[in-house]
Amino acid sequence: MTAPAAFARHGAAALGLLLAWHLAAQALAGSHMLAGPLDVAVYLATHHALMGRALIVTLENAAWGFLAGNLAAVGLALIVALMPRTRVVVAAVALVVFCLPLVATGPVLRVLYGPGPGPQITLAALAVYYTSFIPLLVGLRAAPASWFDLIRLYGRGAWTAFVQIRVMAALPYLMAGLQIAAPAAFLGAMVGEFTGADRGMGVLSIRAMRGLDVEATWTIALVAATVAMLAYGAIGALAARLSPARPDILLATAPAPAKGNPMLRGLGLAMLTALVVLALWWALMEAFALSRFFAKRPDDIWRYLISAPTAAANRATLWAASVETLRLVVPGYLAGLGAGAGLAMALVLVPWIAGAVLPLAVALRSVPIVTTAPLIVLALGRDTLGTITIVAVMTFFPALVACIQGLRQAPGQALDVMRIYATGRLTQLWHAQIPAMLPAFFAAARLSVPAAILAVTVAEWLATGRGLGALMAMTASTSNYNMLWSAIVVVAVGSALGYALVAWLERAVMARVAPEQLRG
């Protein structure tokens, strides 16, 4: 398809979307659920100065967090590249830190930093570093062995091989990670603004939601989504210019093949990771001489949950909130993954609609959940359905994009043979394309575990008033830091266990479907 024809088709799709939006707003007029495009345009024209000031603040914090997080990712990847034996432990600790709930660490950072943009920048950095670290890990190991043989043949050393082969091979993977990280930085900055900031898009979003200002809520969501999509597209364009050969979809590394007893190996890694995390936690608190009033140590949490006179009541409160959160996050997570994979397979069977759906999916994938959550709450209410939908939306788009790209990895020769024997599309899908899709599907499933928990805690924080998100919001406002830190530990450990459970399921499925991939 020529460029003018593609532009015309995308323009027609955009106009159709605007028309559908306008008609839906007209049909729901007076319901306080949906503001139409004209309402949004009027609000934006009337409040452009306020919106512009807030956007500049959030963009600045997101940019600094993007820089800091990616520098941390590069540093961790270099440690692993130079000391390969540290790979498993460094990756495990990085995952645990990534699983820290942003909505709970924000209040702690607010006390630590005091007034200023520190929490927003730090949360933006925490939101992005893992999405760049994982592709870098894969990219640094992506160069063919023959390239290193050629370097040795010419008498060059290890440094030349590292710079000219490993670093250059990792560049496409780094750009892929940066493209996903850009919207995540904007999300982290907005979450940081929820925790006591006085300026920014997150502050405007909370005010609009609490005031039931539908026009403001939709305008903020549209502006945030537009900025996130522009950042996603700009880095994608830069990546295409710097490295035309794009890597496969990389949301997380494949689980390492199990050597020896997998249960003992996994238990040993878990214990080592826990020891490293606890040591780092305690060392950081002590190194900066932070007050135990708000900067709790591991022994403080142990006393609060195990040995204190009120430990049983504390555990009961935490358990009740955890059960409520699990009740919402599990069905939302499964629904999002199932819908994403199902739609990807439907697009293979009906390929003529893929050209319209895929660009929209890629665009919506970059929209911050903190802007879509208020809209879903307005539409579906603050009860179970609204929260499950928010979690499903958070997991749906990554799963869809990953599965579409995974389906494209099906061996062309196998498909050609099937076509020669006149097999139908369903047979090709079942026997060739779905097995090729599974690695990408499980990669999305693993990284969607902390994303789903972020989504449910944001929904509970902003809307439902129940679960771990609401518990963290309440304890932050009442300075009950023992419970806040306990909730942080529960969420981080739960996310890491969910990630490990999906990785175990991946090994079990791939061992039956494609055992050669695990051996490779």
Fold match between domain 30-247 and domain 250-520: yes
pLDDT tens digits, 392-419: 988 888 888 778 878 877 777 777 777 7
Pick the CATH number of 250-520 from 3.40.50.720, 1.10.3720.10, 3.90.25.10, 3.40.1280.10: 1.10.3720.10
pLDDT (0 to 100) of residue 103: 78
At 250, which amino acid appears?
Answer: L
Dist CA 492 CA 495 (whole Å): 5
Higher pLDDT, 509 or 26: 509
CA atoms within 13 A on the CB side of 15: 6
Task: Please name the residues in contact with 466: beta carbons below 8 A apart, sequence gap of 6 or more.
Answer: 321, 324, 460
pLDDT band at 477 (very low <50, low <70, confident <90, very high): confident
Q: Where are the domains of the chain?
A: 30-247, 250-520
pLDDT (0 to 100) of residue 520: 45
Dist CA 447 CA 429 (whole Å): 25
Tokens found for residue 207: 């005010």
Let me know if domain 30-247 sits in CATH 3.10.20.30. Answer: no
Q: What is the DSSP letter of 255?
A: P
Dist CA 187 CA 209 (whole Å): 17
Maximum mean pLDDT: which of 134-138, 267-271, 418-422, 496-500: 496-500
Segment holding 248, helix H or strand E: none
Tokens found for residue 177: 């990670």
Q: What is the DSSP letter of 350?
A: S
- pTM attached to this predicted model: 0.81
At 321, which amino acid appears?
Answer: A
Dist CA 131 CA 74 (whole Å): 11
